[in-house]
Structure 1
Amino acid sequence: MKKPGIETVTVLATVFALSCLLLLLSPITLAPASADGEGNQSEQLPDLAVTAIKPYHYEWSEEYNVPKGDPWFNLRNYVAVAISNNGTADAGSFEVKLYADDELIGSETVEEGLLAGPTDNTTDVIFEWTPEGEDPLSWTDSADGAICSYEDTSREYPLRAVVDEDDDILEEDEDNNEFTKPEPQKVVWNGYMADEPLENYVHDSVNGGMIYTTGDGEYRSYDSDQSGTNDETYDINYDLQIPGSTKLARFYIYYTWAKPSYTAPKIAVTLETPSGDVYDPEMEKSCNDIKGDFGADIYAWGTYAYDIAEYVEESGTYIAHVSNQNYGGGDSDFADKYSFAPPAILVVYEDATEPKREYWINEGADLLMGGEEERYYGGFLSLGECKNSALFSGSIDSGEVEGAVLGTVSVWGGNPTTGWHSYLYFNGNELGMDLYEGYSGSYNEELGGLSMSIGSDDVQIGIELTDISDDLEGCDNEVIQGDDGDNMMPANAFLVITYEEDEESEPPGITAQEPVDTQITNTEGESRTFSIYIDQSVDIIWQINGTEVQTDESVTEASYTNTSATTGIWSVSAIATNGETGLSATHRWIWNVTNATQTPAVNITATPSPTPSTTSTPTPVHTIKPKTAPTSTPAQKSTSASTSEGNQTSEADEAPVPGFELALALFMLIVVAYLLRKETH
């Protein structure tokens, strides 16, 4: 048995030992609960920070840390926001927001989060950005050319990005979640994009066609000090063979590289006709474009259009004289230097011998340069951003279309350089790549009422004429000229639709089969059949003396038979009518029906035997739809006859048989004579 004192000491020793053990363990279990900044360890947390904002158009070059193409107005651009996790713990899902001039561009969530650590702790969050802006180029048309104006439409955008804006994540540092790009991002207009659709000049129809030609003209360059760009006049010859008469005529000048920047040429045009008449047409309309508000040498390109319909009235050789009216730079409103492709003449002519054609003429100037990295100096634009459109508005009756052709004109189109391409589309269907003809060689083709020709080998114009009948739609057709590095300027688009010619309707042709002669004779009681053949499906009305006696529908052969005509002259007509055209024709016979020659014998007997009356049975043949002949037609004989002398109420009494009156009169005379003779005896 233990003593009470020893038992107490044992309990105290046990408590003391447990207390010491607890004190030894306390630094491990309690240390993470505090973070006083004086040597104690803190809790492991992520630390998200925005480290860079990188705006670009095509892509960001990590190698050189520069954009491949700055952002452009009205195009889809991109902004890469770099996010780093500088903390000691991985971050879960988080949100990043981007602002341009304090306007929210977008919000993106990084669902996979971001790892912590010295490597793989940075990610780029990509935003799409399409700032809106205006073309800096505008102009006013004058008789000599376009007077251009420039307005700086560029804009600078402060770009700011914020990660975890709502503080949903507990971080080591909450003050580094926002970042503003040190320099505002400047955005300008890039005129190499498709920004100038070819507008419709006219939509009309004509029995005739269309002619487009550049004559014997060539490309003229101010760098080479060639006539037309310096103080010398350039002459172009056009051999025009115009069927019929002129309905419309246009003269086009396609200029390039006008200097100084933001100016257009001042040009004089004189037109000499085959008859020797000379005219000075004035510019009616211009369309102008520039590469954009970036880089050096911001020169204008464009199309000048002239109405020359009143001067083009005959076939033969026309001569156009083109001269630079501002050579030397005396007029600051205009360029003093420029180049130009060969001017073109467009004629719409009327010719009654040709089918009906509906046509659209679209014109303009849209400087393009796609190609992305192939044409980096154009701003890294893609093919999809360099697709010029020309809309041919209006509905057509596709059921009557015989064919449709498309003509396109593009300055510099078809440049034969490896890696630089152009595309043509119609109603969304790709017609082909590099289709333009004539850039460096003459070309002449006619298709579906549209003739297009280039007459020399150095024009730097591409034209294309193609059949698009299979792709034609019933409403609002569209052609697209796309640039994938070609660097061209679409200037014209023509659509010509040829309609099926209406066959001239002819009246039915009737050929008599029986009888062939138009004047015929029958004796009373004879059957007569009239038969005809018709060269088209018709409805027939048979008439006798103007009264309808029979009809036949949708036939090419027909006949009518009459067995009971009485003595007289009858007009028998067959009237043929085409139900679709409404045209008709008539064949007529003159039918002379004479008495049957009869010499009755005088039978002088004591008991005369009267001749019983007899009648014939008419059997008119009705081909399809017989109708009962009116009483005004030759009478049909009754089919019933008296069978006894005592029957005095036969049908013959009610409807006398044609020709019976004469026989009855003769019979009565014989009876009277017989009675008188008997009485005298």
Structure 2
Amino acid sequence: MKKWKSSVIVGIIALLALIALVGSAAALQPDLVVNGIMPNCGYLFGNESNGICAEIKNIGDTTANASHVNFVLSDGYTEKVAVQSLAAGNSTTVEITDPTIRNAGAAVNINVTADCNGEIAESNEGNNTLDSDTTVVNNGYKGKTYTGGSNITTWKTFELQGDLLYSVGDSYYLSSYSYPDWTQYMANWTAGDLQIPDTATVKEARLYVPYTYDKASVMPDNISLTFNDNAQTLTAHYSDRKGYDGYDYPYGMLTYNVTTDFNMGGNTAVLTNTYAGGGKVSVRGMLLVVIYADSSLPERKILVNEEFDLLYGGSSKCTTPDEATAYAPFDGSINLTKYSRGKLITVAPGADPNEGELIFNGQTWTDVWSDNGVTQIGIDERDVSSCLQSTENVAGFQSSSDYMEASNAFLVLTVPTPPDLIVDSITPNCGYIFGNESNEFCAKIKNNGTGATGAFNVSFAAGTFSEQVRVPDGLAAGANTTICVTDPTLRNAGESVTINVTADCNGEVIDSNETNNATVQAETVVNNGYKGKMYTGGENITTRQFYNQAHINLVYSTGDSKYQSGYSTPWITYTANWTASALPIPCGATVKKAVLYIYYTFDRTPAGNVTDYFTLRFNGNVVPIDQHYTDRKGYGSWNYPYGMVRYNVAADFNDGGSNHVVLENTEPTSPHHVSLSGMMLMVVYEYADEPVRMIWLNEGFDIISAKTSYCVTSEEATAYVPFTGGTIEPDTVDRATLVTVMQDAFDGTDKNRLYFNSGEWHGIWDTDAKQGDTSLAINETDVLAYLAATDNEARLQSHIPEGGTKGDGMGAANAILMVEYAPTTPTVHHRGGGGTPRDSDGDGYSDIQELIAGTDQNDPNDYPGKPVATPTPTLALTPTAKPTATPVPTPVATPAATPTTATPTPEEPGFEAIFAIAGLLAVAYLVLKNKGK
């Protein structure tokens, strides 16, 4: 009974659940709504078709099957769109293109109905429709073709013998953001800005004033303009604007006819802003265009087109580049037989830098407009002769995501006349002919006529040198080309050279003027002092003194000398001091040489020899000049001598104490005196305890500066230092040091280089090499690895790094090569493994030799035989016997009952260790096995 009751209860519950489920399913229904309506970019645009989107959403509880959506616009256009099935909570966007062309300002209602055919049973049939009211606007970022405005049309056509000139003068961009209260704007044009012949007659002078962001309708009613102090009447006002949304401010251009008041000697325009408080509008700049007649010029037809069109071609503004195109159609027809040459000048305010595409009769040029960096008026001028058509000539200004405006187009058509070849200029390398080297000559050849030429030759002649160069493609009217040749003739500074260049030297071109094809230019040969003296016929930094193998040494110091500027500083006294510690010379040494070097720059004295005015006192005694080395740029500006002066001060040198220098300068130049880089005192002494050395003293002075604008390469900016005299025994040399002294060489990195034979070092003269407060750099370089027995040579170079244009500008002065021989070392017998004995202090005696002799093995000045004892060439060492020290051929370990206190030498484990480890493993195994039992 209980079982039966339970079954009944369960059945009832199941039945109730089924009823509830069926009821719930019957209640689930979709519900379609129109969630939003969006015209393109949020607006209906005038004068074009419009895309309209609507979002359809299913806000019901179950999937809505496929249905339709209906778009109805109040001015007549309707369209249905199919919608695929939509799951509950999902949405989709449908779009139509309405082809209706409307005018800006028209009011339009957009009605969108979801499930317009009643195909879906919805939970709510009353929410399928959404309305949107909108007003049609123009999209000002499109060309006026798309906004019902005017193209940039032809205002006037001129036919005359003459030309068109234009200039922005000194006008500039004036921002009302930066200058919110401005009330006056002035611009000027010089006679050079618009070079009109004196015989010409001005036919038209037009002043254009483009502006932007007119926030208060300042233009044109709150503006007045004077031209050369005469009030002007506004001729035309062109404008455009975005047309919708924020920042919808007018842009435009004011046009004034200033022909009556134009002055060929110069002009001034003043724009006055009378808006209360000023400002509120920004000025792009001003453009003055002049059309003039001159009977000496070819016949021309000039078409002037004007308007103003704001442009931006990009999806963010619902525009394409094609739509963001302003068109400038030129009126009338062209007789191409008569007018075969055409020049197109286009003006695009706001287009910079390198913005916009120019289209002319199907030909397109990209990124054409740029301003002068001061105004915001982009101007492009180009030859369009090959694109001319007899009719329907049209220029297009196109934006591809460039904010810009289009305002003016000038088409200048010319009746061709014969060409006229001239030599416009002759330029030797860097403007000079340099001595002791080949020279490049360049000539600019220009076609000054109005007709193109065929191929022709250009001839160069200079002394015995002559060469012809072919111009295979000829030159178009107004075009030019630069031709260069290299003259290999080596000349001396001071020689006179006449360069003769002739265009069309073989008479292949029929010129309008055959008498102006040649140009002659006289030049005087100069030395390029920035090159090494190898290239200027001067002297290398050569060996002035050589010390063969002797117990000698050399020390040097700049003491407390410093850089002394002479610029606007007419100094008359210079002092320098050296302490005894600055030049350490052993007691008892013999001074072989003591010289003082003085380094100077910018000698402005009349004869170019400042030493005529120097008096030097060394330790109170007047010392005469021993040697004077000098170099100079050799041409152009700043051509002043630099140099080094040497004084022999051995007679007055104090080798045990301090030394003092006073230099008096009585040069008459004003307001500048010579500048001193500093001084260096150098001493060579002989001393028996010194190692045997060879010393080369090389001196000279060579300005070197590699720089593209100086026409000097790194290879040319090299001072050569050959070391002559003596023969080196390289195998017995212990040290070889090269000391170099350079003036003003601190750039480091790879702007200077040192070469010694095959060795190469980069940037060794840097700020670390700078000597105190002088402007001298001294470097000591180990050159042992590159030493040769004879003919050693150093090269000091100003170097242009890769990708650079200049190297270090410096003066090469001294180079000292010191070669030190290894001391003679007694033979030592060693026990055991051989090899070189240890010499801790580097004095040439091994530690064991010094141990036996009782000298300090860590003091290089304390060694066997000092001062009178002579070390025995061969020492027989008898070691003290020790019981356990005697080695036997095969050591065998002998266990002892009592271990000795000596720590045994660790040995590598042998078979004993292996057996011990194996035994331990076996024991461990047995223990574990028994434990398991």
1:431 maps to 2:365: yes
Partners in 2 of 1:40 and 1:218 — Cα distance? 77
Structure-1 residue corresponding to 2:328: 390
Q: Which residue of the partner structure matches residue 70 of structure 2?
A: 97
Task: Work out whether 1:80 is the aligned partner of 2:53.
Answer: yes
Q: Displacement of 1:73 after TM fit? A: 3.0
Is the contact between residue 415 and residue 486 of structure 1 (CA under 8 Å) also seen in structure 2? no
CA distance in 2, matches of 1:480, 1:231: 35
Aligned residue in 2 for 1:271:
227
1:76-133, Cα deviation, whole Å (9 max, x unpaired): 43222344677989856x654311226224344x4xx6236448x7543211236655
Q: Which amino acid aligns with 1:206?
A: L
Q: Secondary structure at the match of 1:480?
A: strand
SS of alignment partner, residue 395 of structure 1: coil
Secondary structure of 2:281's partner?
strand
- Between the aligned partners of 2:244 and 2:267, the Cα distance in structure 1 is 38
Deviation at 1:256, TM superposition (A): 2.2
**For residues 208-227 of structure 1, what are the structure 2 equivalents within 5 Å?**
208-225=162-179
User: Displacement of 1:429 after TM fit?
Assistant: 3.1
Secondary structure of 1:475's partner? coil
Which of 322, 328, 333 is the aligned partner of 2:270?
322
The residue number in structure 1 matching 2:315 is: 372
1:128 is aligned to: 97
Deviation of 1:225 (Å): 3.4
Paired residue for 1:288? 239
Does residue 491 of structure 1 match 2:407? yes
1:247 paired with 2:203, answer yes
Q: How far apart, CA to CA, are the structure 1 residues paired with 2:91 and 2:158?
A: 63
Q: 1:401 to 1:176 in 2, by over 3 A?
A: farther
For residues 551-605 of structure 1, what are the alpha-carbon distances to aligned partners after superposition, in whole Å with 9 as ceiling and x for unaligned? xxxxxxxxxxxxxxxxxxxxxxxxxxxxxxxxxxxxxxxxxxxxxxxxxxxxxxx
> 8 Å contact 1:162–1:177 — kept in the other structure?
no
* 2:162–2:298 contact (8 Å) kept in structure 1: yes
Residue pair 1:52, 1:179 contacting (<8 A) in 2 also? no
Instruction: Name the residue aligned to 1:473.
Output: 389
When residues 116 and 206 of structure 1 are mapped into structure 2, their CA distance, relative to the original with a 3 A threshold, is same
For residues 479-515 of structure 1, the C-alpha deviation after alignment (integer angstroms, 9 at most, x for no partner) is 1112233322211111122234599xxxxxxxxxxxx
> Which aligned pairs between 1:450-599 and structure 2 lie closer than 5 A?
458-500=374-416
> Which one scores higher on RCO, CA 8 angstroms, separation ≥ 6?
1
Unaligned runs of 5+ in 2: 1-21, 420-933
Partner residue, 2:84: 114
Q: Quick one: structure 1 residues 264 and 372, their matched pair in 2 at CA, closer, same or farther if it must change by over 3 Å?
A: farther
Q: Is 1:54 paired with 2:23?
A: no
- Distance (Å, rounded) in 1 between the aligned partners of 2:37 and 2:259: 56
Cα pair 1:248 1:309 within 8 Å, conserved: yes
> Which residue is 1:413 aligned to?
351
Where structure 1 has 5 or more consecutive residues not aligned to the other structure, the ranges are 1-37, 59-68, 136-152, 273-277, 330-334, 374-378, 441-457, 504-681
Q: Assess, with a 3 A threshold, how the Cα gap between structure 1 residues 262 and 223 changes in structure 2: closer, same or farther.
A: closer
Q: 1:81 to 1:134 in 2, by over 3 A?
A: closer
Q: 1:165 to 1:494 in 2, by over 3 A?
A: same
Q: Which amino acid aligns with 1:414?
A: D
Alignment check: 8 A CA contact 2:216 2:281 kept: no
TM-score (norm 2): 0.38
Please, what is the CA RMSD of the aligned residues? Answer: 3.8
Cα deviations across residues 414-468 of structure 1 (Å, max 9, x unaligned)? 146xxxx422212243221x2112241xxxxxxxxxxxxxxxxx11111001122
Partner of 2:155: 201
CA contact 2:339–2:415 (8 Å) conserved in 1 = yes
Superposed CA offset, 1:362-389 (max 9, x none) = 112222233334xxxxx45432332111
Give the letter aligned to residue 475 of structure 1: T
Residue 236 (structure 1) aligns with: 188
1:132–1:354 CA distance, 2 compared to 1 (3 A): same
Q: Which has the larger radius of gyration?
A: 1
Q: Deviation string for 1:335-367 (max 9, x for gaps)?
A: 853221221211112223333222211112222
Distance 1:471 1:257, change over 3 A: same
Percentage identity across paired residues of the two chains = 25
Q: Give the conservation status (yes or no) of the 8 Å contact 1:407–1:466.
A: yes
Preserved CA contact (<8 Å) 1:193 1:370: yes
Tell me how far apart the structure 1 counterparts of residues 357 and 189 of structure 2 sit (CA, whole Å).
31
**Alpha-carbon separation, structure 1, partners of 2:80 and 2:343:** 49
Instruction: Decide whether the 8 Å contact of 1:356 with 1:499 is kept in 2.
Output: yes
Q: 1:271 to 1:89 in 2, by over 3 A?
A: closer
Shift of 1:75: 4.5
Query: What is the identity, as a one-letter code, of the residue corresponding to 2:111?
Result: R
TM-score by length of 1: 0.50
Secondary structure of 2:308's counterpart equals coil
Distance 1:225 1:399, change over 3 A: same
